[in-house]
């Protein structure tokens, strides 16, 4: 069966995030106040053919840690996309 999976890759706490910092600095000029702690990350969606949701998630987590993220500076979390 095919399972739809989402992987979120975010920078670990404490790692500098120049993209997030740039967005945060630009916001007040663009009319948005009160926004802080902006962090930018990556999102991957894919479909996995597996025999159970647990196996799909395990494959996705392994793939996320080994290929989609840099474990030195990033955290990767896989979850099933319940929406579809």
Binding site for a copy of itself (CB under 8 A): 2, 8-10, 20, 23-24, 26-27, 30, 32-50, 59, 63, 66-68
5 or 72: CB nearest a copy of itself: 5
Q: Name the 3-class secondary structure at 18.
A: helix
- For residues 64, 66, 67, 70, the Cα torsion angle rounded to the nearest 10 degrees is 90
15 or 67: CB nearest a copy of itself: 67
CB of 13 to a copy of itself, least distance (A): 11
CB of 73 to a copy of itself, least distance (A): 15
Whole-angstrom distance between the N-terminal and C-terminal Cα of the chain?
13
Both structure tokens of 24: 């945060």
CB of 7 to a copy of itself, least distance (A): 10
Contact 64, 77 (CB under 8 A): yes
């Amino acid at each position: 069966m095919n399972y739809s999976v989402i992987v979120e890759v975010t920078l670990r706490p404490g790692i500098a995030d120049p993209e997030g910092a740039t967005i945060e600095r630009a916001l007040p000029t663009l009319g948005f106040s009160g926004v802080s702690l902006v962090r930018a990350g990556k999102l991957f969606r894919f479909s996995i053919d597996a025999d159970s949701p647990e196996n799909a998630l395990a494959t996705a987590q392994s793939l996320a840690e080994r290929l989609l993220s840099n474990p030195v500076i990033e955290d990767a979390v896989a979850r099933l996309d319940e929406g579809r």
